[in-house]
Amino acid sequence: MRVPVYPDDLIRNRGFKSLSKQLQERWYGSTPISLAEAQKALARGLGYQSFHDLSEASKVCPPDAPVPLEADVRQAIRSAIGTTLLPETSLPLDQQKLERLVNDLSLKKLVAFKRVQVSQDPGHSLLSKLVRKAQPGLSKEHVQTLEKILAESGSLRDRALFACMLGALRQNEFLSARMQHGAAVYGVKIRDTKKVLDAIPDRHRSVFEQYIKTSKLLDGEYLFRAANGSGRSLSPDALRKICVSWARKADVDESLVTPHSVRKTTYDYADLMRQMSERMGHHSVNTSLVYAVGLPTTSSTVH
């Protein structure tokens, strides 16, 4: 048994990372466990040899991977905790506490179980749910206002971030991008084109190139770095706060300004969906919509 795990599950405070933190914080032993120990036990419970094995597998996990029954997964996690954590802490196995700990884990945070939950939702077709979720909340007028506000701000970094979103890049594509031989290249293997600049709209390329030039980024450095300059990339949470600041300055509803919503307003978005469908062999509009909103799907969930 192996539970499908996707890159989105490994983002801080999401999916697997959130479950590991929950396991660490609610550990009932007299001796605390580290986050690494919690990740190791949880990874084994989900069917992987280690957290590294899980992380590598997530990069190539197929969107239609079968999802085991939740009860079976919880039983596997109980066994993994018993063999991974308890021997290391020399604690007796308290079955009641262990049962409560495992049952409290929010498995629905994992993308795979979200997918199952959506497909089993009675009274609502998957297509109707996805169409509603895919409805654009951010208009092109909003985008024009945001562009004007950012141009007036003088922040090349913010304008470069916005250019990436307008280039129909996914958040993980531009946040993981690094410098290589003077050009920004994807840190995740998703697109056919290697350079980020290839996706930037023509009218924003000069600003994007100016950002790279003035930032004096070295090879191996992230295109968008964390504020503390510790060699880490800008985090999704930090990006969310940046988007909120844009929304407030532009007097736009904060919930509407996200990388995904900006991406959906671009002229290239519909063409991107068509190409995605062709490359993955999909011929159903329903299936393409699933990818558009970021949920993996199986043939059994789309009709």
Q: Is the pTM of this model over 0.85?
A: no
Rounded to whole angstroms, what are the CA distances from 261 to 196, 256, 257, 276?
19, 7, 6, 18
Q: Which stretch of 89-93, 98-102, 140-144 has the lowest confidence by average pLDDT? A: 89-93
Q: How many domains does the chain have?
A: 2
- For residue 199, being part of any structural domain is answered with yes
Answer whether 38's CB lies under 8 Å from 23's CB. Answer: yes
Q: Which stretch of 8-22, 110-124, 164-178, 184-198 has the lowest confidence by average pLDDT? A: 110-124
Q: How confident is the model at residue 120 (pLDDT cuts 50, 70, 90)?
A: low
Same-domain check for residues 115 and 165: no
- For residue 302, being part of any structural domain is answered with no
The answer for 135, left when phi > 0, alpha when psi is -120 to 50, beta otherwise, is beta
Same-domain check for residues 251 and 162: yes
Same-domain check for residues 62 and 178: no
Same-domain check for residues 168 and 257: yes
Q: How confident is the model at residue 260 (pLDDT cuts 50, 70, 90)?
A: confident
Residues 168 and 163: their CA atoms lie apart, in Å, by 9
Same-domain check for residues 113 and 159: no
- For residue 1, being part of any structural domain is answered with no
Q: How confident is the model at residue 227 (pLDDT cuts 50, 70, 90)?
A: confident
Average pLDDT over residues 261-281: 59
User: Residue type for 278, please?
Assistant: E
Model confidence at 118: pLDDT above 80: no
- For residue 11, being part of any structural domain is answered with yes
- For residue 239, being part of any structural domain is answered with yes
Rounded to whole angstroms, what are the CA distances from 104 to 25, 27, 157, 205, 219?
12, 11, 41, 49, 44
- The DSSP annotation for 43-61 comes to HHHTT-SSHHHHHHHHTT-
175: containing domain: 140-264
Same-domain check for residues 116 and 54: yes
Same-domain check for residues 112 and 81: yes
Average pLDDT over residues 90-119: 78
Q: How confident is the model at residue 83 (pLDDT cuts 50, 70, 90)?
A: confident
- For residue 187, being part of any structural domain is answered with yes
Please give the pLDDT value at position 131: 38
Structure tokens at 79: 């066994």
Place of tokens 């884990």: 105
Tens of pLDDT, residue by residue over 236-246, are: 989 999 999 99
Please give the pLDDT value at position 18: 92
- For residue 14, being part of any structural domain is answered with yes
Same-domain check for residues 170 and 239: yes
Tens of pLDDT, residue by residue over 3-62, are: 999 999 999 888 999 999 999 988 877 688 899 999 999 999 999 999 999 999 999 998
Same-domain check for residues 189 and 115: no
Q: How many other CB atoms sit within 10 Å of the CB of residue 302?
A: 20
- For residue 297, being part of any structural domain is answered with no
In percent, how much of the chain has pLDDT > 90? 34
Same-domain check for residues 156 and 78: no
Same-domain check for residues 160 and 248: yes
Q: How many other CB atoms sit within 10 Å of the CB of residue 207?
A: 16
Please give the pLDDT value at position 98: 83
Question: Which tops the pLDDT comparison, 156 or 190?
Answer: 156
The answer for 177, left when phi > 0, alpha when psi is -120 to 50, beta otherwise, is beta
* Domain boundary residue, one of 89, 120, 151: 120
Same-domain check for residues 30 and 144: no
Model confidence at 102: pLDDT above 80: yes
Answer whether 17's CB lies under 8 Å from 10's CB. Answer: yes
Q: How confident is the model at residue 189 (pLDDT cuts 50, 70, 90)?
A: low
Answer whether 21's CB lies under 8 Å from 38's CB. Answer: yes
Say how many residues make up the chain. 303
Q: How many other CB atoms sit within 10 Å of the CB of residue 229?
A: 8
